């Protein structure tokens, strides 16, 4: 099925609108929720382990 340029643009606008609405919902946190989010995010980010890339020279474990 071919997607016309107009359909692609309409879908893009729709998705961007949804992303903006979700961002606004995230900004409406209470002070306690915001504090918890700020405390937990660095911890969760530290748990993310990146897989070695093929281009990495030192892949020893």
Q: pLDDT for 10-59, tens place per residue?
A: 888 777 776 666 666 666 777 887 788 888 888 877 777 777 677 767 65
Q: How many residues does the chain have?
A: 61
For 29, residues 6+ apart whose C-beta sits below 8 A from its C-beta are: 37
- Give the pLDDT confidence score for residue 60 in this predicted structure: 60
The phi, psi pair for 3, rounded to 5°, reads -110, 125
Q: What is the pLDDT of residue 23?
A: 62
- Terminal CA-to-CA distance of the chain, rounded, Å? 47
Which residue's entry shows tokens 């918890």?
36
pLDDT at 8: 78
């Amino acid at each position: 099925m071919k997607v016309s340029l107009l359909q692609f643009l309409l879908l893009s606008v729709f998705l961007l609108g949804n992303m903006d609405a979700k961002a606004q919902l995230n900004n409406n946190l209470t002070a306690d929720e915001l504090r918890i989010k700020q405390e937990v995010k660095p911890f969760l980010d530290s748990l993310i382990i990146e897989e070695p890339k093929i281009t990495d020279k030192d892949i020893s474990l």
